[in-house]
Amino acid sequence: MKFPRPYTLKEVADIIKADYVGDDNFLIYGTNEIHRIEKGEIVFVDHPKYYDKAIQSNATTILINKEVECPSEKSLIISEDPFRDFNLINSYFRKFEKQEEIISSDVKIGEGTTIQPGVYIGKQVKIGKNCIIFPNVTIHDFTEIGDHVIIQSGTVIGGDSFYYKNRGDSYDRLKSVGNVKIENEVEIGSNCTIDRGVTATTIIGKGSKLDNLIQIGHDTIIGKKCLIASQVGIAGCCNIEDEVTIWGQAGFASSLTIGAKAVILAQSGVSKDLEGGKTYFGYPADEARKMLKELAALKKLGK
């Protein structure tokens, strides 16, 4: 999430009343998670296992629960609870606001686009030219939709991410302040859910086609010309490269990369990165020819 203007290290630290390491006027441009972090942004870390990864990342400010050695070109904000304070910083810049209109007055809709009855559109949404948005679609704040996009009834674009911290007796949600971007010529079936990024953008690439009843998790990037069949579930932070085909009821763990032109057969469970240009099947998913040979061998054992 980008701040509306550059904020100084002191200004950001003052939001959460925290100490800091670095020059008062060190500039910060936004917040982000480790997998999408860019220079000038804050990342949070609350476990020693990940201190080095955070400090060596593109982040130029680290929200951390212990003062550690910090490179001269970076800064630290010291917090007793970085998870909580990351939420506080994000909430400061993007507060929840009650929507009084079914279609927000600041929505930008391109020429030739049809919005059917019952569609909800949140604040600062952009919709391109010649789109069709069918009844009872929900499009949350900050969503960007390209040209020639079709979204069928009941789909929800930009809902909150499924991201929690276990506090022992309860769970704390990591608040979602990112958005969803749907590129040109995408088609999305009925009753799909595409979660917005926690701090960055969930992306559906140009020309991709999604069937009904598909779940896309936060910050996932779907490449161009992908084909995804019904009841597929893709967890957050995945990178599905161009022209990947995914058949029905396949499931994906978080933070995976699926190479271009891979084919994932129905009901496969994907738990690791997969190379492009191959066909996969089974749980855990592996090359289809290998898995089918193993199934044939098991049948022979039974006889």
Kindly tell me if the per-residue pLDDT of 299 is higher than 90: no
**pLDDT score of 169:** 95
303 — pLDDT class (breaks 50, 70, 90):
confident
CA 183 – CA 142 distance, rounded (Å): 14
Q: Does the annotation count 140 as an active-site position? A: no
44 inside domain: yes
User: Does 252 map to a domain?
Assistant: yes
Question: In whole angstroms, how large is the CA radius of gyration of the chain?
Answer: 21
Give the mean model confidence (pLDDT) for residues 8-35: 96
Domain span holding position 132: 108-292
**Domain final position from 38, 65, 93:** 93
Give the confidence band of 194 by pLDDT, cuts at 50, 70, 90: very high
Q: If we measure between CA atoms, which residue out of 129, 183, 138 comes closest to residue 158?
A: 138
The candidate with the shortest Cα–Cα distance to 130, out of 114, 141, 154, is: 114
Side chain identity at 127, as an amino acid letter?
I
In this structure, the answer to whether residues 169 and 275 fall within a common structural domain is yes
Confidence (pLDDT) at 74: 96
Rounded to an integer, the average pLDDT of 256-279 is: 98
- Residue count (the chain): 303
CATH of the domain at 53: 3.40.1390.10
Which pLDDT score, from 0 to 100, does residue 294 have? Answer: 86
Query: 78-99: per-residue pLDDT in tens?
Result: 999 999 999 999 999 998 889 9
Strand partners, 204: 182, 222
Please state the rounded mean pLDDT for residues 202-225. Answer: 98
Q: Give the model's confidence band at 298: pLDDT under 50 very low, under 70 low, under 90 confident, else very high.
A: confident
Does a structural domain hold residue 300? no
* 218 has pLDDT over 90: yes
Mean pLDDT of the chain: 96
Q: Are 66 and 78 in contact (CB under 8 A)?
A: yes
Residue 303 domain flag: no
Position 292 scores a pLDDT of: 86
Domain CATH for 288:
2.160.10.10
64 with 119, same domain: the answer is no
Q: pTM of the prediction?
A: 0.94
Catalytic residue among 35, 47, 148, 218: 218
- Report DSSP letters for 144-197, one per residue: EE-SS-EE-TT-EEEEPP--EEE-SSSEEEPPP--EEEE-TT-EE-TT-EEEPP
pLDDT reading at 46 higher than 90: yes
46 in the same domain as 121: no
Say how far apart CA 273 and CA 284 lie, in whole Å: 11
Write down the residue that tokens 């240009």 correspond to: 277
